[in-house]
Each structure stands twice: as C-alpha cells, then as structure tokens.
Amino acid sequence: MKNSRHVGSQFEEMAASYLQEAGYQILDRNYRDRLGEIDIVAKDGRYLVFVEVKYRANSEKGDPAEAVHGRKQKRIRNGARGYLYRHGLGEDVACRFDVVAVLGHEIRLIKDAF
C-alpha cells in the first residue's frame, strides 16, 4: 500500500496540471511554515490564490471538499498570512481560497470556497 503522503503528492500534481489548464499560474507548492500550510499557491488573473487539494477514492467518507472544515481553513488562512509576510506582500493583495476536490478520478474546482 502506498503511503498517504505519496498518494497526496500525486493528486496535488494532478490538481496543479488541472489548474494550469484552467489558466492559473502555479507559483509555489507545499508551502509550510509554523503558522500553517498551503498545498498550491497560484495566480488567477489579479488574484493570489491559496489552494487546498483534497482527495477521496470514493464517497464512503463523504465529499472531499467537506474535509476542509473550520480548523483546516484556519491553518490555511494562517499559512496564507505567513506566505504574504515572507514574500513581502501586503494584506491589500487580492487573495482567494480555492479547493480542488478529487473524488475518484473526478476533479472539481471550488473557487472562493471560504
């Protein structure tokens, strides 16, 4: 059995390709600091987009997007704050939080998810 980190990185790769095809410019992947973590940082038009990728093999444990709950959203927001600070970007930068939900082989993009 493959470990979950390896499986996760495969689906993050798939999500990054999907986003590029949708016109996003990938800036960073797997950004982590003491405040939080971001799977993908991208540019979509004027927006700096922080993307969370969630995968489920099937719907037995629910929709993957449902796994991006309040506590996870807080870690993503904190990671975004850290990213902005580390890259010298002000809080006036137009930001958005998207989720790429992968269920089996179906990919769904939820823009401005939270």
- Give how far the C-alpha of residue 24 lies from the chain's centroid of Cα atoms, to the nearest Å: 12
Question: Residue 62 in contact with residue 44, Cβ under 8 Å?
Answer: no
Which one-letter amino acid corresponds to residue 90?
G
CA atoms within 13 A on the CB side of 9: 7
pLDDT of residue 110: 97
pLDDT of residue 59: 87
Which of 96, 88, 83, 71 has the alpha carbon at shortest distance from 35?
A: 83
Give me the tens of pLDDT residue by residue for the chain, a chain 114 residues long: 455 555 567 889 999 999 999 999 999 999 999 989 999 999 999 999 999 999 998 888 889 999 999 999 999 999 999 999 999 998 789 999 999 999 998 999 999 999
pLDDT of residue 9: 79
